[in-house]
Chains A and B, each alone.
Chain A
Amino acid sequence: MVKMLVPYPENCTGCRFCEMACSVYHDGKVNHADARLQVHRRNVKVDFPSVCTHCVSCGEDCCVLHCPVEAIKKENGIVHVNQDECTACGTCVEVCPFGVMRMEEKAFNCDLCGGDPTCVKFCPMKAIVYEEPKPEQYEKVKKLLKEV
């Protein structure tokens, strides 16, 4: 069974710890814009995480399909940006329906921390769970993202 990050918006408290932990784990520093996932703290009623689904739930907005130089590939279920081929054009950032394709000098995204996701370890409320993909949960997040 392939496991993915599954978001549970109703469990999210908006604390944003996952963003910090992700950023420190990957880059040794805190920068929320470089975290491979994003927490939205909208108002008193709405907080939710948005995670990379590795295109199990992107439909037509898939970074893999849209990359003009085919630098983004899906291998063993994991979406990966080839840093040598990426031209930093920004297309993938624009199309990502979850807003979690990132860009510094080149594009980059969630790597599931090699199968032991840091964000999940720091979410005691189980707003992000590492388990079998749940399309209905991804749809919930897509809907929330459109409500801005």
Chain B
Amino acid sequence: MKGYTGKILKVDLTEEKSHERTFDESYARKYLGGQGFAVELVYHGVPKGSDPLGPKNVLAMAGGTFDGFPVGTGGKVAFAAKSPATGTLAESIMGGSIGPELRHAGYDALEIVGKAESPSYIWIDNGTVEVKDASDLWGKDTREVPEILKKRHGWDVKVACIGVAGEKLSRLASIDCDDRQAGRAGLGAVMGSKNLKAIVIRGTKDLVPADPKKLLDLALHYQKIYEAAPSFVEDTKYGTGEFLGWVNKDRGVFPTRNWQEGVFNEREKIDPYYWATRYVTKNKACFACTKPCGKLFEVKSGKFAGVAIDGIEYETLYSLGGACGNSDVESVAKANELCDLLGLDTISAGVTVGFAMELFQRGIITESETGVNLAWSNASDAVPKMIEMMGNRKGFGDVLADGVKVAAGKIGKGSERYAIHTKGMEPPAYDVRGMKGHGLAYMTSTRGACHLRAGFYAPELVGKFWKWEGIDRFSAVGKGFMVSQTENFMCVYDSVGLCKFSRGFYLIAKLPEVIEAITGLKFSEDELLKIGERIHNMKGNFNAREGVLRKDWLLPARILEDPIPEGVSKGSKISVDEMNLMLDDYMKARGWTSDGVPTPEKLKELGIE
């Protein structure tokens, strides 16, 4: 079996012991790599009812099948655990170089269990594993930590770490590597709960593909395709925010001021078409990405001078921008930098601030409690201030540090009505009232409201994708089947480690030859989709076992009751009937019970125990 290292490393922080085990071709055929491996480790490793922030939770990290090999945009690494934000099996994917490095060190996956007695970090040097003291790193930010560790272990080591928010167990805490983040679902808090500040890896072993010549030929073939695509020009010039104007004006589904509106009327100020020439000083890329959407955004003067981030991504322009009514792009950048340094997910953190701002607008909370003027008109000042307070759990920041669901529980006074989330996770930048299938995807996503478990925004905004044409975003009909299919599709992407922005180039049909060039294993398109279905069913079954059922998946009241007030999607919402229709269709397509539980027959068919 080429391409794989064939080994999984387990580190027990309680016992300060490590252990490696091998796997064979049948394991690779069943779970593929990346997300597949990470989900398998959590699914089989976490006992029922475990506290996500307790020692029994498993934090898994796995490089995709393509990780470490020259496949353009194919260097993603998957983290997974039982999420403290949602109580479900959640994975979070990032483009940092820690995944490829793990494979060069000799392991396809890393499974971390237990809890260290005091602040620690894991140091993996080509197969030598140590748990080391991190007391001097505790309290340090996500740029200071790698700087210190690289001075200590060498400039070539790779570091994934948490910031202060992870130490303080914020359910919005992210994991950082190379200024890229595994942001979603609070996996940074899982690291914090284990007293684990960082994972440091040096890998210098060979990775050997099955057919090197074929692999390079394929890489060059796709490189030409990337460069000829219109999205190459847009992404490299403006980053992921390039379609912000279009989502606003032409689709009217850019959630604004905590989802009160679907169009941000000051969108020009945060649109990269307007700011790129002024603030972008260089392109940045994830590991192995040859169509880079990362941007070095630098603020050189004014009150936010000194800010330098890899961003601002589309999602963050929404969460720390539009969702907070913040049209000051320098303030968005500052808040983005604070999130990165403190280790907070920009999406969830921004939506949580926007939620507090709506409560402020409605007089449910006042400046005497918050200590900050949270008026929309004061967004430029308020957003960075509140992010800093959240990351450090200072003052009112402590109330908001665990997201909208927990905050609404603490605040009460009817604030639940304004808490926009599913399964306890704050939603990304697509107002699903005007894209109903994507609304279904927010419900069925195993990690709570997410745009990337199904990626269904693309089919609905464009109207066609993969096998389908003429998709009507305002219709609930037929979406159950399509969402179930695209979820399987995305599980495959996260398992091979390919960026989802490349999904249009490969779809699924083109992946087998790339996988074969690396591993020598042959797969059909259907076999790959079956693996995707298996991975999704494992997550679904885990969540059902933890008692997270259909009744817990439902959309928040605003999406069901308040139509989008203006713009091209004016008047649209998802009715309760439409929600139920889509969920019924989905359960049927999945072969699950109407409560959202995978049936024994389905589990048997997929070989899930």
Residue numbers of A with Cβ under 8 A of B are 10-11, 13-17, 20-21, 24-25, 28-33, 41, 43-45, 47, 118, 121-125, 148
Q: B226's closest neighbor in chain A, by CB?
A: A124
Alpha-carbon distance A99/B241, docked complex (angstroms): 37
Do the beta carbons of B70 and A125 come within 8 Å of each other? no
List 19 additional A-B contacts (Cβ < 8 Å) besides A43-B147, A44-B309.
A10-B282, A13-B294, A16-B97, A16-B288, A20-B69, A20-B70, A21-B219, A24-B209, A28-B208, A28-B209, A29-B207, A41-B97, A44-B143, A44-B284, A45-B282, A45-B308, A122-B219, A124-B236, A125-B236
The answer to whether residues A125 and B219 also contact, given A30-B207, A43-B143, A44-B308 and a CB cut-off of 8 A, is no
Closest 5 CB pairs of A and B: A13-B285, A15-B285, A28-B212, A20-B70, A30-B207
Q: A22's closest neighbor in chain B, by CB?
A: B70
The answer to whether residues A44 and B310 also contact, given A17-B70, A29-B206, A31-B207 and a CB cut-off of 8 A, is yes
- What residues of B have a CB within 8 angstroms of the CB of A14 in the complex? 178, 284-285
Alpha-carbon distance A13/B235, docked complex (angstroms): 13
Q: B223 at interface (Cβ–Cβ under 8 A)?
A: yes
Do the beta carbons of A31 and B206 come within 8 Å of each other? yes
- What residues of B have a CB within 8 angstroms of the CB of A25 in the complex? 212, 216
Alpha-carbon distance A41/B282, docked complex (angstroms): 13
Do the beta carbons of B208 and A33 come within 8 Å of each other? no
Alpha-carbon distance A26/B72, docked complex (angstroms): 19
Do the beta carbons of B290 and A148 come within 8 Å of each other? no
The answer to whether residues A17 and B290 also contact, given A44-B143, A44-B296, A44-B310 and a CB cut-off of 8 A, is yes
Do the beta carbons of B290 and A124 come within 8 Å of each other? yes
The answer to whether residues A24 and B215 also contact, given A16-B287, A41-B178 and a CB cut-off of 8 A, is yes
Q: B292 at interface (Cβ–Cβ under 8 A)?
A: yes
Q: B220 at interface (Cβ–Cβ under 8 A)?
A: yes
- Cross-interface CB contact of B283 among A11, A17, A28, A121, cutoff 8 Å: A11
Of the candidates A17, A43, A123, the one having the most CB atoms from chain B within 10 angstroms of its own CB is: A17
The answer to whether residues A24 and B284 also contact, given A15-B292, A44-B310 and a CB cut-off of 8 A, is no
The answer to whether residues A15 and B206 also contact, given A24-B216, A44-B296, A44-B308 and a CB cut-off of 8 A, is no
Do the beta carbons of B288 and A45 come within 8 Å of each other? no
Q: B231 at interface (Cβ–Cβ under 8 A)?
A: no
Query: Shortest Cβ distance from B4 into chain A, in angstroms?
Result: 13
Q: B289 at interface (Cβ–Cβ under 8 A)?
A: yes
- What residues of B have a CB within 8 angstroms of the CB of A17 in the complex? 70, 72, 288-290
- What residues of B have a CB within 8 angstroms of the CB of A24 in the complex? 69-70, 209, 212, 215-216
Query: Shortest Cβ distance from A74 into chain B, in angstroms?
Result: 28
Do the beta carbons of B223 and A45 come within 8 Å of each other? no
Q: B179 at interface (Cβ–Cβ under 8 A)?
A: yes
- Cross-interface CB contact of B206 among A30, A118, A121, A124, cutoff 8 Å: A30
- What residues of B have a CB within 8 angstroms of the CB of A47 in the complex? 282, 284
The answer to whether residues A13 and B204 also contact, given A44-B310, A45-B282 and a CB cut-off of 8 A, is no
Alpha-carbon distance A100/B70, docked complex (angstroms): 20
Q: Could you show 27 A-B contacts with beta carbons less than 8 Å apart?
A: A11-B283, A13-B284, A14-B285, A15-B286, A15-B287, A17-B70, A17-B72, A17-B290, A20-B288, A24-B70, A24-B209, A24-B215, A25-B212, A28-B208, A29-B212, A31-B206, A32-B204, A44-B284, A44-B308, A44-B310, A45-B296, A122-B223, A124-B223, A124-B226, A124-B291, A125-B283, A125-B292
Alpha-carbon distance A146/B546, docked complex (angstroms): 55
For B292-309 the 0/1 string (1 means CB < 8 A from A) is 101010100000000011
Alpha-carbon distance A8/B535, docked complex (angstroms): 43
Do the beta carbons of A31 and B204 come within 8 Å of each other? yes
Alpha-carbon distance A15/B296, docked complex (angstroms): 14
Query: Shortest Cβ distance from B186 into chain A, in angstroms?
Result: 24
- What residues of A have a CB within 8 angstroms of the CB of B209 in the complex? 24, 28-30
Alpha-carbon distance A47/B212, docked complex (angstroms): 27
Do the beta carbons of A13 and B216 come within 8 Å of each other? no
Which B residues, 156 to 191, have Cβ-Cβ distances below 8 Å to chain A?
A: 178-179
Q: B552 at interface (Cβ–Cβ under 8 A)?
A: no
For B19-47 the 0/1 string (1 means CB < 8 A from A) is 00000000000000000000000000000
Query: Shortest Cβ distance from B80 into chain A, in angstroms?
Result: 25
- What residues of A have a CB within 8 angstroms of the CB of B310 in the complex? 44
Which B residues, 72 to 121, have Cβ-Cβ distances below 8 Å to chain A?
A: 72, 97, 104
Alpha-carbon distance A24/B296, docked complex (angstroms): 30
Alpha-carbon distance A20/B147, docked complex (angstroms): 25
Do the beta carbons of A15 and B289 come within 8 Å of each other? yes
- Cross-interface CB contact of B70 among A30, A123, A148, cutoff 8 Å: A30
- What residues of A have a CB within 8 angstroms of the CB of B291 in the complex? 124
Q: B501 at interface (Cβ–Cβ under 8 A)?
A: no
- What residues of A have a CB within 8 angstroms of the CB of B287 in the complex? 15-16
Q: B68 at interface (Cβ–Cβ under 8 A)?
A: yes
Do the beta carbons of A121 and B155 come within 8 Å of each other? no
Do the beta carbons of B208 and A29 come within 8 Å of each other? yes
Query: Shortest Cβ distance from B339 into chain A, in angstroms?
Result: 14
Q: B227 at interface (Cβ–Cβ under 8 A)?
A: yes
- What residues of A have a CB within 8 angstroms of the CB of B208 in the complex? 28-30
Which B residues, 191 to 231, have Cβ-Cβ distances below 8 Å to chain A?
A: 204-209, 212, 215-216, 219-220, 223, 226-227
- What residues of A have a CB within 8 angstroms of the CB of B147 in the complex? 43
The answer to whether residues A21 and B70 also contact, given A29-B208, A43-B143 and a CB cut-off of 8 A, is yes
Alpha-carbon distance A24/B286, docked complex (angstroms): 20
- What residues of A have a CB within 8 angstroms of the CB of B232 in the complex? 124
Query: Shortest Cβ distance from A90 into chain B, in angstroms?
Result: 17
- What residues of B have a CB within 8 angstroms of the CB of A16 in the complex? 97, 287-288
Alpha-carbon distance A121/B216, docked complex (angstroms): 11
Which B residues, 224 to 248, have Cβ-Cβ distances below 8 Å to chain A?
A: 226-227, 232, 236
Query: Shortest Cβ distance from A42 into chain B, in angstroms?
Result: 8
Do the beta carbons of A124 and B227 come within 8 Å of each other? yes
- What residues of B have a CB within 8 angstroms of the CB of A20 in the complex? 68-70, 288
Alpha-carbon distance A11/B282, docked complex (angstroms): 7
Query: Shortest Cβ distance from A126 into chain B, in angstroms?
Result: 11
Alpha-carbon distance A118/B220, docked complex (angstroms): 10
Q: B310's closest neighbor in chain A, by CB?
A: A44
Query: Shortest Cβ distance from A32 into chain B, in angstroms?
Result: 8
- What residues of B have a CB within 8 angstroms of the CB of A124 in the complex? 223, 226-227, 232, 236, 290-291
Query: Shortest Cβ distance from B285 into chain A, in angstroms?
Result: 4
